Amino acid sequence: MLTSYDDFPIHQTSHPIARTASSDINHYDRYFFNGYTRDTRLYFAAAMGLYPNRHVADAAFSVVVDGGTPDARQINVHASRRAPADRAEANCVGPIQVEVLDPLNALRITVEAPEHGIRADLTFVRRSAPIEEPHFFHQVGNRVIMDSTRMTQFGGWEGWIEIDGELTDLEPGETLGSRDRSWGVRPVGERGPVGAPVADPQFYWLWAPINFETFSTHFDVNELSDGKRWHETGVVTLVPGPGGIEPPEAMRDVDYRVTWRPGTRAAESFEIDLVPWVGEPSTIVLEPLFDFHMLGIGYTHPDWGHGVWKGELEVGGDRWDLPVDDLAAPHHVHIQTIVKATTSGGLGAHEGLGILEQLAIGRHKPTGLHGIFDGYTSAD
């Protein structure tokens, strides 16, 4: 099937663009964004995914209002549709739209869902070069679980958000954040049979993009239950100056230290070590402020999971008070914790803001996690 994008010289296979290079049903192409005001009174996140071999596209937008206070709440809108064959039409799912204004520099998100309490018109403007993370490849037995590429980028936000009729203007420089783009193969959609068991269910993921005034730092790790890593990233990238944008500086090594909150799989304290190829290592201490539940943009959501067929077009919403009652419940384990960050060592002394994303399923011996979703106990 020929579509409008076939008129551009962008083909990566001998087939039309509408036909993916992989026939894996879990092939996907995805946007993720987050943003937070400097006073942390407002946190928001957005996601949009295309699953061509499932013929599904979905999107979500979520906001935490008054995070860390007794009035804290998370408000979400979800949308799902039949995926369009033409990629030129894949940037809109119901009331949520992502528009690329200037590739790798500026993108716009609009949301028009007043019936679910959310309207927004936001523009992301880059404050770093895009960071291509090492390729993700993970195999369990003979089955490939992940085979994907991801790009992370830091930026600032401009525009407005309206929550339950209350409008908040976001002036330039007031709201920071990050985004990622990923594509390839990873588990999405309805869970299907996988044959004989070959390993305990396990996935361990930490991701921490942090914004400082003149630079940003990026960290992530994927580890097996014994602590062996199959993916890691460590990067320092400068905010563009008069001389233009600087390429990111990849680290020679990264490490971390975590203490879990009792009864949960969420960090009570966290430190990152970034070791450059040349110069003094740096340590970043993260102070957790409050949690954003990735459930709000579809991750582990029982009804609005990624790539799940909902119908030709369906839109819904939900909300809850924060903090949640059971942070170890399976649908609440995947979180982004908004953090205050402090650096020392080679980077000098700086304070910044960012997030620590955590998804720990199954055993992780180095940090004392047991079972599938069992909360941490100090007796471990």
Domains and CATH numbers, the chain: 25-188+200-367 (2.40.370.10)
pLDDT over 90 at 22, yes or no: no
- Closest alpha carbon to 179 in 270, 100, 87, 83: 100
What is the C-alpha to C-alpha distance for residues 44 and 137, in angstroms, rounded to an integer? 29
Q: Are 363 and 225 in contact (CB under 8 A)?
A: yes
Compute CA distances 10 → 101, 130, 250, whole Å: 19, 20, 28
C-alpha closest to that of 128 among 78, 174, 72, 180: 180
Task: Supply the pTM of this predicted model.
Answer: 0.95
pLDDT digits (tens, 9 = 90+) for 279-309: 999 999 999 999 999 999 999 999 999 999 9
In the prediction, which pLDDT does 93 show? Answer: 98
pLDDT band at 220 (very low <50, low <70, confident <90, very high): very high
Instruction: Tell me the average pLDDT of the chain.
Output: 95
| Furthest-apart CA atoms within the chain: distance in Å | 62
Instruction: State the pLDDT at residue 379.
Output: 57
Q: How far apart are CA 126 and CA 287, in angstroms?
A: 25
Is a pLDDT exceeding 80 seen at residue 194? no
Which pLDDT score is estimated for 55? 96
